[in-house]
Amino acid sequence: MNKSNLFTIISQLLNNLPKYILYDLDEGWKLSNPSREDENFLNKWKSNNELKDAFDEWILQARIDILTNPEEFIDTNLDKLKEGFFKSFGEKTGRDALEKYGIEFGKLKDEGELRFNTRNSSVTLNSEDDSYKEHTYFGGIVNE
């Protein structure tokens, strides 16, 4: 899995997750825990068909919101970004994901892995391209 950016990770999740959901005549819907095959993450779906319907609606809406209309989902306004995450993934999951992303982004900054492209004003991972300068997080560029 390409782990270079959050959008790619979420895109791969939304496109691939349904492939792992199987239907067994005896067990019903099944999504096995990769580290414990006998654990079915979807065991409640057997007794409540509305859960499967809710998942189908969620995955469809998430694909529309994130993959079809990413410019509306990924907004430079942090409040709108949080709102989109919370709407699509729930507040707890969205908050946890954004917190982890912030921590990992901070580590990249601390390790000098972020670069600022002076041509298009974007921040990216370390690049051999000399138009990318080390980003300081506070508006300056190292070795300017």
pLDDT by residue for the chain (144 residues), tens only, comes to 445 567 788 888 888 988 989 998 888 999 988 888 889 999 899 889 899 999 999 899 888 887 887 766 665 667 777 787 788 778 898 888 888 878 887 887 787 777 766 666 666 666 555 444 454 555 544 554
The whole-number pLDDT of residue 101 equals: 79
Q: Name the DSSP letter for residue 22.
A: E
CB 12 within 8 A of CB 1: yes
The whole-number pLDDT of residue 121 equals: 63
CA–CA distance, 13 with 8 (Å, rounded to integer): 9
The whole-number pLDDT of residue 53 equals: 92
Which two tokens mark 56?
A: 């189908």
CB 86 within 8 A of CB 98: no
The whole-number pLDDT of residue 29 equals: 93
The whole-number pLDDT of residue 135 equals: 47
CA 120 to chain centre: 24
Whole-structure pTM value: 0.52
First to last CA, the chain: 35
Q: CB count, 10 Å around CB of 50?
A: 8
Residues contacting 38, CB < 8 A, separation 6+: 32
User: What are the backbone dihedrals phi and psi of residue 28, each rounded to the nearest 5 degrees, phi first?
Assistant: 80, -145
The whole-number pLDDT of residue 9 equals: 81
